[in-house]
Amino acid sequence: MTRFTVACIQMTATPDVQADIETNLSLMQQAAEKGADVIALPEFCAGLDVKDGALAPVAFPETEHPAIRAFRNFARTRKVDVLVGSVAVINGDSLRNRSLLIGTDGEITARYDKIHMFDIDLGGGHRYCESDVMSPGDTVVTAGLCGQTVGLSICYDLRFPHLFRKQAKAGASLLFTPAAFTQPTGEAHWHVLQRARAIENGAFVIAPAQCGVIAGGSQLYGHSLIVDPWGKVLADAGDQPGFVLSEIDLTLVKATRQKIPSLANERQLN
């Protein structure tokens, strides 16, 4: 399949997992009714909490996670593919920030655990240390979707271009970049980073994001994006909850990579 419609869901997650599930399902239903074949949710799309200034997501083992169960059922019932941007998953003795790709039969076709932890200090009290709570993954993940290869990532991964290069060289023509970008970093870097990942890899970028004020008081940037391989923004959700859709024409990937064959021209440096 070279043409299909993708929707990015934009919402504000809370500590109430069930409420978040219902919010997502309502927006997903609307997107499906508008013709979405693939629906992408943001990072920490169900059960985001902050306690005493530290990330404290609501977590379950994957097989018991109510959000995963609900989204699998939706995918099966509506016959759409669903990208769960991420939820917190109990993995042995640790927590993982995990993204899942769900097929039209409701089965999980790929899992990705966020590799790069969001450990930064912007000053002015804007300090975040994801590694205090979560354990990083260590595997680059590509998967099949609509007969194509796609790459999975989560939020802060966006700042590490080598991850997406590996995915593109493995055949990925579409890159998922779900996120919960903060307002300060979003205003400065969100659009340019998303467009850069699209341009340098000649790939579509699908970036569902959270917006609004989350528990603990942090303002999230929103602006879920769909970007084409030439770096053109096809859809921008602004700063309010909702969703955006765009048709994806994957023939543009081949055409773009023929015009600027940077994947083929790349040389390994010592």
Active-site annotation holder among 8, 45, 146, 155: 155
Set 114, 130, 146, 211: catalytic member: 114
- Which residues contact residue 89 at a Cβ distance below 8 angstroms, ignoring those fewer than 6 apart? 59, 60, 61, 62, 65, 95, 96, 98
Measured distance CA(187)–CA(134) in Å, rounded: 26
Name the packing angle between helices 191-201 and 161-169 (round to 10°). 30
The 10 Å CB-count burial string (b at 16+, else e) for 163-189 is: bbbebbeeebbbbbbbbbbbbebbeee
**How many CB atoms sit inside 10 A of residue 82's CB?**
28
Q: Where are the alpha helices (DSSP H) in the chain?
A: 17-33, 66-78, 161-169, 183-185, 191-201, 251-259, 262-265
Residue matched to tokens 């942090």: 218
5 and 247 Cβ atoms separated by less than 8 Å: yes
The question of whether 43 is a catalytic residue gets the answer yes
Length of the chain counted residue by residue: 270
Known active-site residue 211:
no
Catalytic residue among 43, 45, 130, 211: 43
| Among the listed residues 201, 170, 175, the one whose alpha carbon sits nearest the alpha carbon of residue 83 | 175
Residue 218 DSSP label: P
In the chain, the amino acid numbered 188 is: A
**Residue 146 a catalytic site member:** no
**Residues with a known catalytic role:** 43, 114, 155
